[in-house]
Every structure is written in structure tokens, then in C-alpha cells.
Homo-oligomer: A and B are copies of this chain.
Amino acid sequence: MTEYERDGAEIYRQSFATIRAEADLAGFPEDVATAAVRMIHACGMVDLAADIAYSPGVVAAGRAALEAGAPILCDAQMVASGVTRKRLPADNDVLCLLSDPRVPGLAKDLGTTRSAAAVELWADRLEGSVVAIGNAPTALFHLLDLLDRGAPKPAAILGIPVGFIGAAESKAALAAYPGIEFLIVKGRRGGSAITAAAINAIAHEKEIQA
């Protein structure tokens, strides 16, 4: 039988301590640093810190929105699956509309991906929401287009899609967008696990929960 650490809370504690010892978190506000620790924990790479960009109020704005009952709007089911429900302060809705029956037709009509079409269906929940895009650059681009056309503003946008086509560009466009509280990972890295981890950090100030 192999010897290994079997205590879940102790694994968290040692993991977060390792990350804080190795990652360069200088310059992050304390609440954003806590989010960065969880994001690093989700991908196993302490150098992710160098690619994390944010508006300084993003964690406070996202947490206040969640405490007020805002929904979390996710581009992918994996992001929604990764949200730890018991960390949510108001039993918040965690929505991914990618499987909505309207999506395939809407994607065809709009000439875009299903991920972007699903964002179109967020319209009546957008105001004051917390957006978590962890998969599709087209979802993030489409959201910014909606905002250009006057859609209501989310309280915070976590824009952390991953990949080789449009990911870096969509995240740069979010970071440059005026008047939005945002959190991104610059470049190609990102994904549903890192995004869900950021939501889990924003949801609750307690770092470790039993």
C-alpha cells in the first residue's frame, strides 16, 4: 500500500502553502491573490500568476453580486460542473445554456458557433450577473459584441477561454473593454477548471472549507 496524504483538508492546506511559497503574487490585491492561488491549484502551474490580469475590484464586485443573489452564467457545462455549490452565498443559479434547444437554430441564423449563440440567450440575466467563460473564445467575443450593442453589464466577467484560435485575442479585448470588472489569463492558457476555480474563490472568502 502506497504512503500518501489522505486528509482532504490537509491536502488543500499543503497545496495552497506550496503555491504561496512558489508563486510570485506580489502586486496582487489580497482578494485577487486568493483567486490566483485557486486558479494555480486548478492547473498545477505557479507561473500562471504572470499571465493573470484583472481590474482591482473584480473579486469584490463578483462577491457582492453573488451575495445579492446574482446568477453565474457559464459558457460550458464543465465550468458549471466545477462550481462548488456549497461555497455559493445565496444558492445562486449556475447556468449553462449550451444545450438549450434554441441554440442550434440560433447559431445557424447568427452564423456563429453554438457557444456564441448560447450567450445570446443570456440577455435577460446579464444585468449584474457573474459571467464565467472558460472554454470558447467566440462566447467571449459575442458577449463583448452584445455589450457594444447596449446589453446590460454583468457585475464581473471572468474571461478565461483556452486555445489557439481567438483565445488570446478575445481575452485582450475584454481587458481593454471600458468599465468592466474583469479577470483573465493572458495568452493561450485557460480553461474550465481554472475558470471554475476563480468562481469558487470569488464565491467565498474562506480559503478552505471542510
**Residues in A lying within 8 Å of B, measured CB to CB:** 1-2, 4-8, 11, 14-15, 18-19, 41-45, 77-78, 80-82, 111-116, 137-138, 141, 144-145, 148, 162-167, 169-170, 173, 187-193, 196
CB-based contact B192/A192 at 8 Å: yes
Nearest chain B residue, comparing its CB with the CB of A2:
B141
Query: A170 to B189, alpha carbons, bound, how many Å?
Result: 24
Query: Contact check: which of B5, B8, B165 meets A5 at CB < 8 Å?
Result: B165
Nearest chain B residue, comparing its CB with the CB of A149:
B1
On chain B, the residues within 8 Å of A77 by CB distance are: 81
CB-based contact B188/A145 at 8 Å: no
Query: Contact check: which of B5, B15, B188 meets A45 at CB < 8 Å?
Result: B188
CB-based contact B11/A44 at 8 Å: no
Q: What DSSP secondary structure best describes chain A's contact surface?
A: helix
On chain B, the residues within 8 Å of A78 by CB distance are: 78, 81-82, 192-193, 196
Query: Contact check: which of B18, B44, B144, B196 meets A190 at CB < 8 Å?
Result: B44
CB-based contact B11/A138 at 8 Å: yes
Across the A-B interface, give the 4 residue pairs with the lowest CB-CB distance, nearest first. Answer: A44-B188, A81-B81, A6-B112, A18-B164
Nearest chain B residue, comparing its CB with the CB of A18:
B164
On chain B, the residues within 8 Å of A116 by CB distance are: 6
Known: A11-B113, A163-B15. A191 touches B44 (CB 8 A): yes
CB-based contact B137/A41 at 8 Å: no
Query: A80 to B80, alpha carbons, bound, how many Å?
Result: 12
CB-based contact B5/A162 at 8 Å: no
CB-based contact A113/B163 at 8 Å: no
Known: A15-B164, A78-B192, A81-B77. A44 touches B187 (CB 8 A): yes
A105 to chain B, nearest CB (A): 15
